[in-house]
Amino acid sequence: FGTVGIDIIAGPSEILVVADKENDPDWIAIDLLSQAEHDALARSVLITDDAGFAAAV
């Protein structure tokens, strides 16, 4: 099938989600966790204006 390569060695991944209470907190949590699982140095950040929504995530 030929030679397979990569562009660079991947480092820690990160995700930044900006969301308000109109979003589904379960979906946001899943998106954040999907990056956090890759590496102990990975960063998952949520920016929101609603403390209740942040707690639900």
Q: What letter does residue 40 receive in the DSSP assignment?
A: T
End-to-end CA distance of the chain: 43
Structure tokens at 39: 């590496």
Task: Write down the pLDDT at residue 9.
Answer: 78
Of 29, 47, 36, the closest CA to residue 12 belongs to: 36
Residues 1-57 have pLDDT tens digits of 688 888 887 777 899 999 999 999 999 999 999 888 888 888 999 999 999 999 999
Residue 14 C-beta-side C-alpha neighbours within 13 Å: 6
Residue 28 CB partners (closer than 8 Å, separation 6+):
17, 19, 46, 57
Task: Write down the pLDDT at residue 12.
Answer: 77
- Domain residue limits, the chain: 14-56
pTM of the complete model: 0.75
